[in-house]
Amino acid sequence: MVSYGWEKITGGQFGITNTEILNTPIKDVDKFHVAWHLFSLSKVFNIIVGSTQILGALLIVINRTMLIGALVLLPVLFQILLVDVAFAAERFGSALPIRLFMMILSDFAILYYYKDRMILAWKNLTGTISTKLKYKWWIYLLVPIVGFLMDFVFGFISIPFKMFINCLMSN
């Protein structure tokens, strides 16, 4: 996880350097190369996924943070498995998807081993916080309307930031 995460952050995992492939019409390029090229275009995606891989890997090997690491790595492993099955399996076979599936099973084994703690955490996260926080029924009807209106407010507020970012990108 650490080495793959580091490769994503430093730009070493994705991308196509073969000019023959880059000069081929996209309809003639296999989906692996198209996907790897597209992944290389998003530095933000690579930094977030790579950092999450490194963070999860470090957390999972420390006894006190093992559960947090397992929870952090689970969606990352699923995402990598989906990408590999969808884009890389035809080219490289099933070895990596099988390896990732086993990592996911290992992750679930850790979570299952600590199932008492997981159940307690789930109950704490989903249980009632306080009986004093009950609202009138009509408040729940207002929540989607307020959320919809806030989307417009945030969109309006973000216009100067979007203009600034577009200005930076065009220079």
pLDDT band of 101, cuts 50, 70, 90: very high
User: Which of 146, 74, 133, 125 has its CA nearest to residue 104?
Assistant: 74
**Residues whose CB is less than 8 angstroms from the CB of residue 31 and which lie 6 or more positions away in sequence, other chains included:** 86, 87, 90
Mean pLDDT of the region 147-162:
90
Specify the pTM: 0.69
User: Which of 2, 73, 13 has its CA nearest to residue 42?
Assistant: 13
User: What integer pLDDT is reported at residue 5 of this predicted model?
Assistant: 92
Task: Extract the tokens encoding 66.
Answer: 């093992």
Q: Where are the domains of the chain?
A: 2-126, 135-170
Given a cut of 80, whether residue 39 has pLDDT beyond it is: yes
Per-residue pLDDT of 55-78, as tens digits, reads 999 999 999 999 999 999 999 999
User: What integer pLDDT is reported at residue 124 of this predicted model?
Assistant: 87
